[in-house]
Amino acid sequence: MKNQLLFTFSFQKYCLLLFLFNGYFIQAQTPKGKLFIIGGGDRSDDLMKQVLSVAELSKKDYIVVLPMSSEEPDSSFIFFKTQMVKLTSHPIVMLNFNKETAQNKTLTDSLQKAKLIFISGGDQVRFMNVVQNTPIKTAIKKAYENGSTISGTSAGAAVMSEKMITGNQKLQKEYSGTFDNIRHDNLETSEGLGLLKTAIIDQHFLKRNRYNRLLSALVEFPTLTGIGIDEATAIIVRNNQIEVAGDSEVIVFRNPKGIQKAKKTDLISIESLQMSIYMAGQKFNIK
């Protein structure tokens, strides 16, 4: 009887510890921060005011700009700062990391403590070549987990997802701003920041007719939600809820069914999929 009571007590204690551990693990994995992802193009003052509002900066907070996507990082920073100094009095700092400064703990600590981090446009592959497998990426993810807002435009939008569209085609050597067809295993992707695990982002979407590119992404990754953000438009991500902001629209593809590849060609077919169009103020959920 005594052994039975001890076993019951131990089992209950084990279950309680398991419950607390799982609860802690789930809580630890839920970021406190937000994402403000802009599809490129013009950024109106109203849109950037929304960025500041979402970031909820306190008196001591500052903004960090990461311009490593750009061929001209100084110009990219000046353009951003010139607009933002009209809208906020908070300090705006550029951290133009390279492979050497990526290991500088003082700089990466400053990045992690920023309440708003903005990633400029340019080339997303260039950005990730600097950031990947470095303390920079870790600092961005920790800042997001701890409550910071991570924002970016164009290339700075593409890097947000775990599966990142590079813009290149595997079956065509020359770069094209869009895809002229939908073929199997044509989309080149690489690892992004991984702040969005269940969605893949494309930008300049309506302006550059990137439907084929995002559909190609869904063929390769059918469990993901494909989100195409137009220019001067943004999505605000709060965990799994997304709100649209800005002047244009956001196109969402999901749940492709009946994907087939032709036997003798690289062409593919999709029997059905869900497509939605959202405009400013509207909301939708992702997994």
Task: Tell me the residue length of the chain.
Answer: 287
The verdict on whether 90 is a catalytic residue reads no
Neighbours of 18 (CB within 10 A): 10
156, burial (CB in 10 Å: exposed 0-12, middle 13-18, buried 19+)? buried
Q: Is 231 a catalytic residue?
A: yes
Of the candidates 231, 243, 248, 249, the residue annotated as catalytic is 231
> Using CA atoms, how far apart are residues 61 and 55, in angstroms rounded to an integer?
10
> 252: helix, coil or strand?
strand
3-state class (DSSP) for residue 156: helix
Rounded-to-integer distance, Cα 165 and Cα 92, Å: 29
Sheet with strand 225-229: strands edge to edge: 199-203, 225-229, 249-257, 272-279
CB atoms within 10 A of CB 271: 9
**Residue 184 annotated as catalytic:** no
> What's the CA gap between 286 and 6, in Å, rounded?
46
Which tokens go with 226?
């494909």
Alpha carbon distances (Å) from 170 to 50, 154, 242: 38, 21, 31
Active-site annotation holder among 76, 90, 161, 204: 204
241 beta partners: 238, 285
Under a CB-based contact definition with an 8 Å cutoff, are residues 245 and 213 in contact?
A: no
Which one is catalytic: 69, 154, 216, 248? Answer: 154
Residue type, position 221, single letter:
F
Identify whether the C-beta of residue 193 lies closer than 8 Å to the C-beta of residue 148.
no
Q: Which residues are catalytic?
A: 154, 204, 231
